[in-house]
Amino acid sequence: MEFNRVSLDIDENVATLTFNDPEVLNAIGPAMLSGLNDALRFVQSPANRVRCLMITGAGRGFCSGANLAGDGSGSGENEGNAGSSLRSGYHPLLLSLRDLDIPIVTAVNGAAAGVGMSFALIGDIVCASKNAFFLQAFANVGLVPDGGATFMLPRLIGWSRAVELSLLAERLPAEQALDWGLINRVYDDNDALMAGAGEIARKLAAGPKSLGMIRKMYWDTWHNAYEQQLDLEARMQTSAGASQDSAEGRAAFLEKRKPDFKGA
């Protein structure tokens, strides 16, 4: 199905969301932001039974960041108060992705620059092709990192590497990103990327409801104390243990068969 400069395909309980403005390497403007929000609302609806979200880009790029030239929708990106567009557009979307009850896989097929890098790293499993690269491009246009980059990068790759990426604004190739621990998997080309990321997404979509709890617990580790995390684990274990999927998992273990999880 098509939204504004975004496509969404559903297969085997996996929703594949594609940034779809390849002529500008999927740069995000107001029109695409609207499409992304509409697509995410579809994914969030329990009636649509989506159990894993995969995000990728059309054409040669994943997402080249904000569309500074404007997207033809009548509202130029970053005109006037750039912070205002972040608060009203990007922040609610990124927070909605963070708070999803299902796992996210990102398949980075090319440039992931600026806020596009933040969308790439929002994935629980981040996959990339060898031709992909990551770029904190903000300093090149006199801006500062946004989209949560200054929160995520030092936690993922350490202070010195995060500051280096942001100050020098140099490309980080996919294989180096893997070596740094920024991403999870690298594939030889985009066909292999989509096959590999799709396989991961289908595995997650066939998993138990607790997968969504797990991803949220790890997000909470970034601000919780040890004691708080112990308490969170106990509360989440109570909830997971009461789920239908947990009952199915225990029954399958005792009966020596593969569990048939329903995401409930």
The CATH number for 143's domain is 3.90.226.10
**Are residues 191 and 216 both part of a single domain?**
no
Residue 159 has pLDDT above 80, yes or no: yes
Tokens for 216, please give them. Answer: 């949220």
Q: How many CA atoms lie within 13 A of 215 on its CB side?
A: 21
Mean pLDDT in residue range 59-67: 96
Confidence of residue 82 (pLDDT cuts 50, 70, 90): confident
What is the C-alpha separation between 157 and 164, in angstroms, rounded?
A: 11
- pLDDT for the residue numbered 81: 77
Confidence of residue 69 (pLDDT cuts 50, 70, 90): confident
**Are residues 125 and 237 both part of a single domain?**
no
Confidence of residue 237 (pLDDT cuts 50, 70, 90): very high
The answer to whether position 54 is within a domain reads yes
**Are residues 160 and 125 both part of a single domain?**
yes
Short-list 142, 112, 107, CA closest to 28: 112
The answer to whether position 262 is within a domain reads no
**Are residues 235 and 124 both part of a single domain?**
no
What is the rounded average pLDDT for all residues in the chain?
95
The answer to whether position 261 is within a domain reads no
- pLDDT for the residue numbered 89: 92
> By the 8 A CB rule, do 152 and 162 touch?
no
**Are residues 145 and 26 both part of a single domain?**
yes
Q: What is the pTM of this model?
A: 0.94
Residue 32 has pLDDT above 80, yes or no: yes
What is the C-alpha separation between 211 and 52, in angstroms, rounded?
A: 10
* Position with higher pLDDT, 146 vs 80: 146
* Position with higher pLDDT, 46 vs 77: 46
Report CA-CA distances (Å) from 107 to 55, 72, 183: 6, 27, 10
Q: Could you list the residue range(s) of the whole structural domain that residue 250 is in?
A: 210-255
Residue 79 has pLDDT above 60, yes or no: no
Tokens for 235, please give them. Answer: 């509360």
**Are residues 164 and 97 both part of a single domain?**
yes
**Are residues 107 and 191 both part of a single domain?**
yes
**What is the count of structural domains for the chain?**
2
